C-alpha cells in the first residue's frame, strides 16, 4: 500500500479537523487529514456553503464557504497531507501506534489519531422520482449559487435546508418554489416568515410524482392533496430531504460509543491507545455541539496528543502571539 507517515492522523476535514491540522502544525506535528468527501469542509461544504454562520467567535457573520477557506489558509503553512475522497476502513495498532487502512489501498501510519468526523459519513435521503436524473439537474445541496442563475428551481422539503436554499437562491434563480408533503415545517419559524415575505411560492400537501426531461431536468410533476396533479417548470431540483448519518467502519474499531458518538475523557482521549476525538463525534457529560466547541476540543486533543507523542513536551506550548 502507498504509505503516509505522520505524527498525527486526523479523520474528518470539517472545521474541527481543519483547525486541528493548523494547531498540530503550530505544535510542530506533521499531519494527514482524511475524509470520505472529495472536498474539505465536511457538512458545511456539503450542505450549506452559502449559509451565514453567526456563532463563530470573532465573526459577527461568515459564510460557510468563507469559514472553510479561512481554515484551509490557516493550516496551509504547515503543509498537511490531504487524503480526500478516501474512507478510513480499518484501524490497528503496531507497537502501540495507530495505523489506518484507507480505501484506494492507502495506508497512514501515525503516532496518534484524532477523530473529528462530525456525525460520521452521511448520505442524502433520496427523492424516489429522481432516479435517472442524478447529475442531470437533481442536487442535494447547492455548492455554487451561480450554477442556478436564470433557472427555474424546485426545492423539495420542509426543513431548515429547504428554506435556507430558497433564501439563498431568491434573486439568483429565475424562479424558486418549495414543495412539501405536509402542512407543517421543520424549519425555523423566522426563516419561514422571511421566505414567505419574499413571495416564494410554497406548495404543501404535495408529492413529487415524476421528473420530466430527455437528458436533463425540464419539469416536475406533483400531486397536490385535494387539488390533483400539477406541472412545474424546472431546470433543477434541490432534494432537501435531509441526510442519514453512519459511523461506518468506525463503529467496528472497538471504541466506547454513546449513541453513535465516541466517549472521551477530559483530555479528549478515547478508549483506544493514542486515539482522541473532538467535535460533534466526541461525547462527554454536558457536551454542547457547536463549531466553537469543536475548536477548543481540537486544541485540547492536539496538546495532549503532543505530550503522548513526546513526554518531554509541555502540555501548553504558549500563545500563538508569542510564536509568530
Cβ-based neighbours of 286, under 8 Å, separated by 6 or more: none
**Domain range summary for the chain, segments of one domain joined by +:** 3-123+243-322, 126-239
Q: Is 48 annotated as a binding residue?
A: yes
Does the annotation place 52 within a ligand binding site? no
Q: What whole-number distance in Å separates Cα of residue 260 and Cα of residue 250?
A: 10
- For residues 289 and 283, the answer to whether their CB atoms sit within 8 Å is no
Decide: 309 and 284 in contact? Cβ < 8 Å. Answer: no
CATH architecture of 126-239: 3-Layer(bba) Sandwich (3.50)
Query: Quick check: 90 and 254 in contact, CB under 8 A?
Result: no
Higher pLDDT, residue 247 or 122: 247
pLDDT above 70 covers a percentage of the chain that reads: 97
Q: Which pTM does this prediction carry?
A: 0.78
Query: By C-alpha distance, which of 115, 102, 112 is closest to 3?
Result: 102
pLDDT at position 255: 95
* Cα dihedral 204, 207, 210, 215 in deg (nearest 10): 60
Q: Is residue 22 part of an annotated ligand binding site? A: no
| Per-residue model confidence (pLDDT) at position 122 | 64
Mean per-residue pLDDT over the chain, rounded: 91
pLDDT, position 241 = 85
Same fold, 3-123+243-322 and 126-239: yes
Of residues 114 and 214, the one with the higher pLDDT is 114
Provide the 8-state DSSP code for 183: S
Is 320 within any annotated ligand binding site? no
- Kindly tell me if the per-residue pLDDT of 201 is higher than 90: yes
316 has a pLDDT exceeding 80: yes
Task: Assign domain 3-123+243-322 to its CATH superfamily.
Answer: FAD/NAD(P)-binding domain (3.50.50.60)
Residue 120 has pLDDT above 70, yes or no: no
Confidence (pLDDT) at 324: 60
Least confident of 26-35, 141-150, 277-286, 287-296: 141-150
Q: What is the mean pLDDT of residues 144-167?
A: 90
Q: Which of 284, 254, 258 is nearest to 269 (CA)?
A: 284
| Sign of the CA dihedral running 19, 38, 34, 168 | positive
The verdict on whether residue 16 carries a ligand-binding annotation is: yes
Mean pLDDT of 60-83: 96
List of residues 6+ apart from 173 with CB closer than 8 A: 148, 149, 150, 151, 152, 153, 236
Closest CA to 85 of 73, 68, 103: 103
Amino acid at each position: 500500500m502507498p504509505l503516509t507517515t505522520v505524527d498525527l492522523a486526523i479523520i474528518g476535514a470539517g472545521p474541527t479537523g481543519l483547525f486541528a491540522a493548523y494547531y498540530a502544525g503550530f505544535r510542530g506535528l506533521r499531519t494527514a487529514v482524511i475524509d470520505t468527501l472529495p472536498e474539505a469542509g465536511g457538512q458545511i461544504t456539503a450542505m450549506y456553503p452559502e449559509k451565514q454562520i453567526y456563532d463563530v467567535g470573532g465573526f459577527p457573520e461568515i459564510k460557510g464557504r468563507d469559514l472553510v477557506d479561512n481554515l484551509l489558509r490557516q493550516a496551509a503553512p504547515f503543509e498537511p497531507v490531504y487524503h480526500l475522497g478516501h474512507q478510513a476502513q480499518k484501524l490497528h495498532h503496531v507497537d502501540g501506534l495507530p495505523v489506518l487502512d484507507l480505501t484506494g489501498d492507502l495506508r497512514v501510519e501515525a503516532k496518534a489519531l484524532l477523530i473529528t468526523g462530525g456525525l460520521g459519513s452521511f448520505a442524502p435521503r433520496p427523492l424516489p422520482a429522481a432516479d435517472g436524473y442524478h447529475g442531470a439537474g437533481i442536487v442535494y445541496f447547492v455548492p455554487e449559487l451561480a450554477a442556478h442563475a436564470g433557472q427555474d428551481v424546485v426545492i423539495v422539503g420542509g426543513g431548515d435546508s429547504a428554506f435556507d436554499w430558497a433564501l439563498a437562491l431568491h434573486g439568483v434563480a429565475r424562479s424558486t418554489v418549495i414543495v412539501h408533503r405536509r402542512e407543517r415545517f421543520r424549519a425555523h419559524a423566522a426563516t419561514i416568515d422571511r421566505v414567505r415575505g419574499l413571495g416564494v411560492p410554497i406548495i404543501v400537501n404535495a408529492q413529487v410524482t415524476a421528473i420530466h426531461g430527455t437528458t436533463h431536468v425540464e419539469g416536475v410533476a406533483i400531486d397536490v392533496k385535494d387539488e390533483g396533479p400539477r406541472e412545474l417548470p424546472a431546470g433543477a431540483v434541490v432534494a432537501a430531504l435531509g441526510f442519514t448519518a453512519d459511523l461506518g467502519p468506525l463503529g467496528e474499531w472497538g471504541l466506547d460509543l454513546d449513541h453513535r458518538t465516541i466517549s472521551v475523557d477530559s483530555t479528549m482521549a478515547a478508549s483506544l491507545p493514542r486515539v482522541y476525538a473532538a467535535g460533534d463525534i466526541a461525547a462527554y457529560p454536558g457536551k454542547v455541539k457547536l463549531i466553537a466547541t469543536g475548536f477548543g476540543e481540537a486544541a485540547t486533543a492536539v496538546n495532549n496528543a503532543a505530550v503522548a507523542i513526546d513526554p518531554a513536551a509541555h502540555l501548553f506550548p504558549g500563545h500563538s502571539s508569542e510564536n509568530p
